[in-house]
């Protein structure tokens, strides 16, 4: 099966950091995109943000102003899930919670066409488990983008035990047609990147808790000597500590409490406090007042 053609409607459920990036990329690739969120203001913020980014890309000559306007015009806010009935592909990017995701897909199954593909951007939850309660679990697949979506080429296309290979191939080809670099993977806890990345974050927290150095020093060392684009703390601030912590918890639980994946209690406290990173103005660093002073 080939990539979905630009005439296919794409629905994006959840208009936060990831959903808005996915919508931006899909509309730029020529699709009509329907954006939904339980918080109407999240859609408003997402659409305004995408419009600004398209304008900046046009100013820089990366697309023409006419292309920017056309892409923006292909993005539509929808206020009810029933409005995504004509979607050929639904990409879910809501809260990282199995029951909430299952509930959403159960509802979507009653709305979209028989041949529509249901994709989840989950960071770590089993694709098999998300699909298990569906009438047709074979059409549920992982389509895991990375943050920030427009800049990160990698997309993990994840098959659960019931996922139809044709569905995974269509999503793979569609991601490629959007300029992404997809890889196929089986549904294992954390998939490829989030599994390999767990020790990066965990050892960062352990170093911090043992007072080896502060967050800024650890980040600088990993960037400058380690060759990473970002150190663990600045990366977690970008990802969001709520998201990062729930991914660690789900990998830890999926591996029966393997101590390698033990979540950090310090990060748990940061989530409790609402210090979620850039999106909250405060995480391991403070944002919005000039220099980024480390908090931890």
Instruction: Give the C-alpha separation, 17 to 11, whole Å.
Output: 16
160 binds ligand NAI (CB under 6 A): no
Q: Catalytic: which of 109, 144, 187, 244? A: 144
Q: Is 244 a catalytic residue?
A: no
Extended beta strands in the chain, E state: 9-13, 33-36, 75-77, 87-92, 117-120, 140-144, 154-159, 181-186
- Please identify which residue in 5, 38, 52, 272 interacts with ligand NAI, judged by CB under 6 A: 38
Q: Which residue in this structure is represented by tokens 């480390």? A: 294
Answer yes or no: are the C-beta atoms of 142 and 127 closer than 8 Å: yes
Q: Using the minimum distance from each CB to ligand NAI, give the nearer residue, 94 or 157.
A: 94
Least distance from ligand NAI to the Cβ atom of residue 81, Å: 8
Residue 142 found at the interface with ligand NAI (CB under 6 A): no
Closer residue to ligand NAI, CB minimum distance, 137 or 240: 240
List b or e across 103-129, with b for residues whose CB sees 16 or more CB atoms inside 10 angstroms: ebbeebbebbeeebbbbbbbbbbbbbb
Stretch that binds ligand NAI, among 17-25, 158-166, 207-215, 287-295 (CB under 6 A): 17-25
Match 């899909």 to its residue by tokens: 26
| Helix then strand then coil, % of the chain, to nearest 5 | 50, 15, 35
Q: Catalytic residue at 80? A: no
Nearer to ligand NAI, 68 or 284 (CB): 284
- Distance separating alpha carbons of residues 257 and 259, to the nearest angstrom: 6
Residues 6+ apart with CB under 8 A from 86: 9, 113
Q: What is the dihedral of CA 78, 84, 90, 95, to 10 degrees?
A: 50
Count residues binding ligand NAI (CB under 6 A). 26
Q: Give the span between the Cα atoms of 130 and 163, in whole angstroms.
A: 11
Active site residue 123: yes
Phi, psi of 220 (to 5 degrees): -65, -40
Q: Using the rule CB under 6 A, which residue among 122, 163, 264, 267 binds ligand NAI?
A: 122
Binding to ligand NAI by CB under 6 A, coded x per residue (else -) over 183-222, reads ----------------------------------------
Tell me, yes or no, if 194 is annotated catalytic.
Answer: yes
Out of 40, 48, 82, 95, point to the residue binding ligand NAI (CB under 6 A). 95
- The 238-277 contact track toward ligand NAI, x by CB under 6 A, reads -xx--x----------------------------------
The active-site residue out of 194, 244, 250, 264 is 194
Q: Which residue is nearest to ligand NAI (CB)?
A: 16
- Which residues would be at the binding site for ligand NAI (CB under 6 A)? 13-19, 37-39, 42, 93-96, 100, 104, 121-123, 145-147, 239-240, 243
| Active site members | 123, 144, 156, 194
């Amino acid at each position: 099966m080939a990539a979905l053609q630009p005439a296919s409607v794409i629905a994006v459920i959840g208009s936060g950091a990831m959903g808005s990036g996915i919508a931006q990329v899909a509309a730029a690739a020529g699709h009509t995109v329907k954006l939904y969120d339980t918080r109407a203001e999240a859609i408003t913020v997402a659409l305004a943000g995408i419009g600004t980014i398209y304008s900046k890309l046009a100013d820089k000559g990366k697309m023409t102003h006419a292309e920017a306007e056309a892409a923006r015009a292909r993005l539509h806010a929808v206020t009810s899930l029933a409005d995504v009935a004509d979607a050929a592909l639904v990409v879910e990017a809501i809260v990282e919670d199995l029951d909430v995701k299952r509930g959403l897909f159960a509802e979507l199954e009653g709305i979209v066409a028989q041949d529509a593909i249901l994709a989840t951007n989950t960071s770590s939850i089993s694709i098999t488990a998300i699909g298990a309660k569906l009438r047709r679990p074979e059409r549920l697949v992982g389509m895991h983008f990375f943050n920030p979506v427009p800049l990160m080429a990698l997309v993990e296309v994840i098959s659960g035990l019931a996922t139809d290979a044709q569905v995974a191939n269509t999503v793979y080809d569609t991601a490629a047609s959007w300029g992404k670099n997809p890889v196929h993977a089986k549904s294992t806890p954390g998939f490829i990147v989030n599994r390999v990345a767990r020790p990066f974050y965990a050892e960062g927290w352990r170093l911090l808790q043992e007072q080896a150095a502060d967050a800024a020093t650890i980040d600088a060392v990993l960037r400058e000597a380690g060759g990473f684009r970002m150190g663990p703390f600045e990366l977690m601030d970008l990802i969001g500590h709520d998201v990062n912590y729930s991914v660690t918890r789900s990998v830890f639980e999926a591996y029966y409490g393997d101590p390698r994946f033990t979540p950090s209690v310090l990060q748990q406290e940061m989530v409790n406090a609402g210090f979620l990173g850039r999106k909250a103005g405060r995480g391991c660093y403070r944002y919005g007042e000039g220099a980024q002073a480390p908090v931890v």
